[in-house]
């Protein structure tokens, strides 16, 4: 084995271009294996998070908010808005048949000005009626939310003193939520009393002049509705759209479907690219190794003449392929790890899909897999090619190249 | 060390057809003498190289046996036959046979290093290269050598293990007159020390060193 390894290392040193080319092909295999898996799992995680966070059967938003501060935009992209449902419309909801329960959320965007620490979407919910945010928040923190407290999304940085300022007032950060891969990672949650206080403060600023006409205690940015069993969700949503003006009711399943369809398209695209690159790389590896072994017939014949057994030659070839494959696949993995952040951001922005990085165990599994699989393909291909050559009689190999 | 070929022959198929075959070597009995130089001549394509490749365990005969000290070398496993070739045979193949990833020293010591004894034979390798006039090329990679230098390197490699049987296919093919003398003197000296030396050649300058001469014609070996 020592001899085989020594011959392998000398071959690599004396043929750096050949070794580098092989390394690059294996690197492609490793890179696509990791990136393909990483992107698909991240998108699936994001979709699951999105589905879990939506939590209601119907979402009602003001007609004016369509395409801006709607709940799906907040959930997906963290796009914020300051649109409110008129009070008379809210009251009419009580007359719609089939609604089991509903809860209002009040959205407020912090300003870019010096009054606020950061520009984020602030979501005020009513802990008494809420059935969407509260279960999730309770799974992240032990105690409920008190007046003056805020709970922040995972992507929001906060100072060491544990408070964030909005519209001139400081609010205590009670907890930071786990990452969801949705726009909620950039949102701040608080109870209705606290957001009412924020809205009153904001109403005095130039940025939020529109709030002067709103009574925060009785207004809402959206209403989340749970439909009674036995009622058709789409029919209830249609009923709301028909009977209540200035609002738009959307079944949440249609929002999920559109995101899921986007996810499906992107994951098919990524899978096709990944499988395509894999197929091409494997074919190239097989062809290159076969050509390389053919070119080295004379070398093998000389080793046989000097007394090397077929097994020794196969060991030398395996050792060389192993060194090249492990180098290529580790470099491929390092490049993948470096590129995960910018590529994730680009996919998230370009395809408008929720995106959540896999946990450490999955990342570890992907990393090991993206090194081991190309390594095995490289070594097995080389060994099979070497077996094919050493299976021929040495006397014939010598004659072929004489 | 007694090498015996018993009615060995080698058949080849043309274009992969089962019925279209020919015998490159036809049922030859052969026993090179220890301590003698045996030269085999003959026209190109007469079967000389096929014959000596069968003698040294590189090509399985289609019929017959090759015995070394009473053992059929083709009945051994690949590992056993390879070790036997390493210890008992010194083979100088036709053409250029340097491993490009190795220096001249590493090429010469190749048969020793593959079984882990390279350190023991360095002095011997230096002495052989000196005798062949290429000791100054010790650290040079083999792809930087001329044809004649490569040939001398492969002669040194064949002799490094003090083999009992030396098989040389055109050992003076790339050499000038003076260097031919150097190589042949060295091979002659080995035969005088007890080795059986078998040389395939077209080179008339080799003939004066021959103790026995054979001619190969259409796969049939005839003693002259």
The domain ranges of chain A are 2-49+259-401, 55-252
Best A299, A307, A310, A320 residue to mutate vs chain B (most B CBs within 10 Å):
A307
Rounded to an integer, the average pLDDT of A153-174 is: 84
For A:167-206, CB contacts with B below 8 A are none
For A:7-26, CB contacts with B below 8 A are 7, 10-11, 13-15
Q: How distant is the Cα of A390 from the closest Cα of chain B, in angstroms?
A: 11
pLDDT at A113: 57
pLDDT at B152: 94
Distance CA A133, CA A146 (A): 15
Distance CA A366, CA A196 (A): 47
> What is the DSSP secondary-structure string of A340-399?
HHHHHHHHHHHHT-------HHHHHHHHHHHHHHHHHHHHHHHHHHHHHHHTS-HHHHHH
pLDDT at A402: 47
The two three-digit tokens of residue A298, written as one number: 């004379």
pLDDT at A132: 79
Residues B70-103 have pLDDT tens digits of 899 999 999 999 999 999 999 999 887 888 889 9
* B101 to A311: CB separation less than 8 angstroms, yes or no: no
Cα–Cα distances (Å) from A276 to A11, A337, A344, in that order, read 31, 21, 21
In chain A, residues with a C-beta closer than 8 Å to the C-beta of B79 are 309, 311
Split at pLDDT 50, 70, 90, the class of A47 is confident
* B114 to A311: CB separation less than 8 angstroms, yes or no: no
- Which residue has better confidence, B191 or A86? B191
Task: Reply yes or no on whether the pLDDT at A43 is more than 90.
Answer: no
Rounded to an integer, the average pLDDT of A254-278 is: 76
Q: How distant is the Cα of A5 from the closest Cα of chain B, in angstroms?
A: 11
* A303 to B87: CB separation less than 8 angstroms, yes or no: no
Task: Reply yes or no on whether the pLDDT at A74 is more than 70.
Answer: no
Q: Establish if A401 touches chain B: CB-CB under 8 angstroms.
A: yes
Residues A284-307 have pLDDT tens digits of 888 887 788 878 888 888 999 999
Domain count for chain B, please give it: 1
pLDDT at A209: 57
Q: How many CB pairs under 8 A join A and B?
A: 91
* A301 to B95: CB separation less than 8 angstroms, yes or no: no
Q: Which of B58, B95, B102 sits opposite A402 (nearest CB)?
A: B95
The two three-digit tokens of residue A141, written as one number: 């923190």
> Other CB atoms closer than 10 Å to residue B138's CB: what's the count?
16
Q: How distant is the Cα of A288 from the closest Cα of chain B, in angstroms?
A: 19
Of A235, A238, A379, the C-alpha closest to A316 is: A379
* Least-confidence region, from A72-86, A275-289, A365-379: A72-86
Best A305, A313, A323, A395 residue to mutate vs chain B (most B CBs within 10 Å):
A305
Split at pLDDT 50, 70, 90, the class of A332 is very high
Structure ipTM over 0.90, yes or no: yes
* B93 to A305: CB separation less than 8 angstroms, yes or no: yes
Residues A197-235 have pLDDT tens digits of 888 887 766 555 556 666 766 778 888 898 999 999 999
Contacts of B188 (CB under 8 A, 6+ apart): B37, B197, B209
Residues A9-27 have pLDDT tens digits of 998 998 899 889 889 988 9
Q: Which of B82, B95, B141 sits opposite A307 (nearest CB)?
A: B82
Average pLDDT score, chain B? 91
pLDDT at A204: 66
Q: How distant is the Cα of A291 from the closest Cα of chain B, in angstroms?
A: 18
**Domain with B54 in it:** 3-223
* B114 to A307: CB separation less than 8 angstroms, yes or no: yes
Distance CA A124, CA A190 (A): 5
Q: Tell me the CATH number at B57.
A: 3.40.50.300
pLDDT at A280: 84
* A3 to B113: CB separation less than 8 angstroms, yes or no: yes
- Which residue has better confidence, A335 or A345? A335
* A402 to B50: CB separation less than 8 angstroms, yes or no: no
* B114 to A305: CB separation less than 8 angstroms, yes or no: no
Split at pLDDT 50, 70, 90, the class of A80 is low
pLDDT at B48: 93
Q: Establish if A396 touches chain B: CB-CB under 8 angstroms.
A: yes
Rounded to an integer, the average pLDDT of A141-162 is: 82
pLDDT at A142: 67
Average pLDDT score, chain A? 81
Q: How distant is the Cα of B173 from the closest Cα of chain A, in angstroms?
A: 12
* B53 to A309: CB separation less than 8 angstroms, yes or no: no
pLDDT at B34: 92
Q: How distant is the Cα of A363 from the closest Cα of chain B, in angstroms?
A: 40
Task: Reply yes or no on whether the pLDDT at B154 is more than 90.
Answer: yes
Scan for tokens 């009689």, then name that residue. A393
pLDDT at B141: 93
């Amino acid at each position: 084995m020592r001899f085989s390894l020594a011959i392998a290392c000398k071959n690599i040193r004396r043929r750096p271009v050949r070794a580098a080319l092989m390394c690059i092909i294996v690197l492609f295999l490793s890179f696509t294996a990791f990136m393909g898996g990483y992107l698909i799992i991240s998108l699936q995680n994001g979709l699951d998070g999105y589905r879990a966070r939506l939590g209601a059967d119907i979402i009602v938003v003001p007609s004016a908010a369509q395409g801006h501060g709607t709940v799906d935009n907040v959930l997906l992209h963290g796009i914020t808005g300051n649109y409110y449902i008129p009070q008379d419309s809210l009251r009419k909801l009580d007359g719609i048949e089939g609604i089991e329960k509903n809860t209002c959320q009040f959205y407020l965007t912090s300003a870019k000005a010096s009054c606020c620490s950061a520009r984020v979407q602030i979501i005020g919910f009513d802990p008494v009626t809420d059935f969407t945010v509260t279960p999730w928040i309770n799974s992240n923190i032990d105690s409920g939310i008190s007046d003056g407290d805020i709970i922040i999304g995972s992507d929001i940085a906060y100072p060491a003193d544990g408070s964030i300022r909005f519209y001139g007032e400081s609010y205590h950060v009670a907890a930071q939520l786990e990452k969801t891969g949705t726009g909620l990672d950039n949102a701040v949650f608080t109870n209705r009393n606290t957001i009412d206080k924020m809205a009153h403060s904001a109403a005095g600023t130039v940025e939020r002049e529109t709030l002067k006409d709103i009574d925060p205690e009785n207004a809402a940015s959206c209403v989340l509705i749970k439909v009674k069993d036995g009622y058709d969700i789409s029919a209830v949503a249609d009923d709301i759209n028909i009977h209540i003006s200035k609002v738009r009711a959307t079944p949440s399943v249609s929002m999920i479907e559109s995101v899921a369809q986007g996810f499906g398209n992107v994951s098919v695209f990524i899978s096709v690219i990944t499988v395509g690159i894999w197929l091409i790389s494997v074919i190239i590896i097989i062809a290159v190794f076969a050509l390389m072994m053919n070119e080295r017939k004379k070398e093998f014949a000389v080793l046989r003449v000097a007394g090397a057994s077929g097994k020794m030659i196969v060991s030398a070839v395996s050792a060389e392929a192993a060194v090249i494959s492990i180098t290529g696949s580790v470099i491929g993995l390092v490049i993948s790890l470096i590129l995960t952040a910018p590529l994730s951001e680009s996919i998230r922005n370009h395809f408008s899909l929720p995106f959540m990085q896999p946990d450490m165990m999955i990342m570890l599994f992907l990393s090991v897999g993206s090194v081991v699989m190309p390594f095995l393909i490289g070594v097995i291909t080389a060994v099979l090619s070497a077996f094919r050559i050493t299976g021929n009689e040495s006397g014939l190999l010598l004659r072929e190249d004489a | 060390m007694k090498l015996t070929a018993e009615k060995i022959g080698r058949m080849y198929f043309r274009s992969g057809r089962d019925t279209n075959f020919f015998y490159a070597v036809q049922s030859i009995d052969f026993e090179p003498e220890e301590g003698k130089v045996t030269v085999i001549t003959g026209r190109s394509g007469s079967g000389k190289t096929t014959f000596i490749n069968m003698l040294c365990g590189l090509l399985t005969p289609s019929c017959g046996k090759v015995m070394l000290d009473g053992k059929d070398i083709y009945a051994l496993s690949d590992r056993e036959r390879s070790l036997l070739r390493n210890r008992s045979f010194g083979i100088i193949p036709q053409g250029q046979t340097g491993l490009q990833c190795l220096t001249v020293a590493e090429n010469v010591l190749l048969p020793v290093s593959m079984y882990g004894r390279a350190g023991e034979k360095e002095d011997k390798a230096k002495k052989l290269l000196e005798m062949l006039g290429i000791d100054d090329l010790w650290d040079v990679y083999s792809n930087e050598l001329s044809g004649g230098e490569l040939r001398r390197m492969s002669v040194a490699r064949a002799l490094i293990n003090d083999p009992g049987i030396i098989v040389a296919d055109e050992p003076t093919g790339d050499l000038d007159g003076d260097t031919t003398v150097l190589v042949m003197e060295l091979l002659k000296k080995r035969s005088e020390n007890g080795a059986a030396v078998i040389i395939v050649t077209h080179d008339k300058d080799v003939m004066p060193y021959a103790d026995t001469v054979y001619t190969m014609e259409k796969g049939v070996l005839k003693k002259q």
